[in-house]
Amino acid sequence: MSGTDPAIAYAREHHERFLSELQEFVSIPSVSTLSEHKGDMEHAAEWVAAQMHAVGLENVSILPTAGHPVVYGEWLHAPGKPTVLVYGHYDVQPADPLDEWLTPPFRATVLGDTMYGRGASDMKGNVHGTLKALEALRRNGGIPLNVKFLIEGEEEVGSRNLGGFIDKHQDLLRADLCLNADSGILAPDMPSIVYGLRGLAYFELWVYGPAQDLHSGLFGGSIANPAQVLCELVAGMHDANGRVTLPGYYENVRALTEQERADYARLPVTDEMWLAMTGSPQVTGEAGFSTKERTGARPTLEINGLLAGFTGEGAKTVLPAKAMAKISMRLVPYQDDTAIEGMLKKYVDEHAPDTVRWEVKKVTASAPGVLLDRASQGARAASAALRDTFGAEPIFVAEGGSVPIVTLLQQKLKLDSVLLGFGLPDDKIHGPNEKLHLPNYYRGIETFIRFFENVASAAN
């Protein structure tokens, strides 16, 4: 099929220019969380808008939010055909720790089949790839359906203004289907589609003791140390089997079916690969489940941060007045995300000694887990596009991460998403030496072309 598709042929002819455009994009340090990059964020938004113009999208605009703007563009000249809303983001994570990078994080260095640079995998490659697919279709017979692009600038800071933006622009964003390109596949030759996403609840637990930091020699051993109490509370949040002990935590957690367990067992991800990717000495987790089940199908509780007392160089003999843990839970579908805060508070209330005071603070609004319909029109279009591009049947997987926009679009616009992107598990997104596997970037463009074609022809 690919041999006769002029859009695919066009995409293959223009690898060199596409790559050089992507290098330009990745070299813009669009770090949304750092105010010193505000100018770079504007630059990146303008760069995306210019690309939209260049591929022929209309009504291109940089729309303000309370934070960084959204870049919007559309092509609505296929009456009777579905409208696909393409979702992506142009912002990236901070590059630190800088001294662990082997190449400059914002230079987009190409070495062989790999591009190194912050944002190359998450997700400038995928944003650029969807636009290049549109370009290839437009120059070779025309774009066969209606598309709208929503490329936001705050995904890496929790998409905090996106809900309000969607509320304000409901008509503009109305569509039949969302193509969410902020996703990945299992391995370079192993196409996959994410159909399950875990939800998220995120808290700070504060433990308070003395009114101010005290001299640990004069007072140590006679009053409760908040740092120690915090450690005791955290230590008790898992039992010896690695299960979360918050009361009621596993209510509504569905047992895996035989079929699902068989599907997980077939995933060609081994524990050895997992150790190589993470650098951890061993895998571990909830007893009775495999690594892929633990990250894809089971709810978890992780400590994201700890802070108490003196943490600088050397010795300060302080008995800290307070101690804090950042604690987040990944939730599976059917778990009630709004009940988690109460479970955490109940746990702390039952276990904290009277020698301290404590507080649980909600850090972000919680999001429930999501299950997408594997048989939807969009999922079938994506599946066929992957099969034709990679020459292998894609695997449906439930992912460990959370993509709040999927829930937002379901809740606010009744819009279902298809997750189709080309990151790899070892791309080191959010860490130093983030990379993009270029053969997948190119195959991604071809997959996007076929996806748009498949959605259009399914509507015939």
Q: Which is nearer to a second copy, 289 or 396 (CB)?
A: 289
User: Least CB distance from residue 224 to a second copy, whole Å?
Assistant: 5
What does the DSSP 8-state code read for residue 157? G
End-to-end Cα distance, the chain: 19
Tell me how far apart the alpha carbons of residues 415 and 299 are, in angstroms, rounded to a whole number: 25
Q: Is 5 helix (H, G, I), strand (E, B) or coil?
A: coil
Q: How near is the Cβ of 89 to a second copy at its closest, in Å?
A: 15
**CB of 24 or CB of 396, closer to a second copy:** 396
Q: What size, in residues, is the chain?
A: 460
Nearer to a second copy, 250 or 310 (CB): 310
Run of H or E residues at 8? helix 6-13
Instruction: Give the C-alpha separation, 21 to 281, whole Å.
Output: 40
- Both structure tokens of 137: 């279709």
Query: Shortest gap between Cβ of 414 and a second copy (angstroms)?
Result: 25
**Of the two residues 81 and 294, which places its CB atom closer to a second copy in the complex?**
294
Tokens standing for 124? 């400038």
DSSP code, position 38 = H
Q: How far is the CB of 185 from a second copy (least distance, A)?
A: 13
Closest separation between CB of residue 269 and a second copy, Å? 10
Contact 49, 114 (CB under 8 A): no
| CA–CA distances in Å: residue 409 to residues 72, 85, 165, 380 | 16, 10, 11, 20
Contact 410, 370 (CB under 8 A): yes
Which DSSP helix (H) or strand (E) runs through 75?
strand 70-75
Cβ proximity to a second copy, 132 vs 322, nearer residue: 322
- Token pair of 189, please? 């030759």
Residue type, 215: H
Q: Are 40 and 28 in contact (CB under 8 A)?
A: yes
CB 219 to a second copy: min, Å: 6
- Cβ proximity to a second copy, 223 vs 392, nearer residue: 223
| Of 94 and 144, CB closest to a second copy | 94
Q: How far is the CB of 295 from a second copy (least distance, A)?
A: 5
Q: How far apart are CA 43 and CA 59, in angstroms?
A: 19
CB of 425 to a second copy, least distance (A): 7
> Which residue type does 100 have?
E
Q: Which is nearer to a second copy, 166 or 398 (CB)?
A: 398
The smaller minimum CB distance to a second copy, of residues 89 and 298, is found at: 298
In angstroms, give the least distance from the CB of 282 to a second copy: 4
98 burial via Cβ count (<10 Å: 0-12, 13-18, 19+)? exposed
Comparing CB distances to a second copy, the nearer of 74 and 293 is 293
**Minimum CB distance to a second copy, residue 116 (Å):** 15
CA torsion, ordered 127, 133, 135, 137, to nearest 10 deg: -160
Helix (H), strand (E), coil (C) string for 335-348? CCHHHHHHHHHHHH
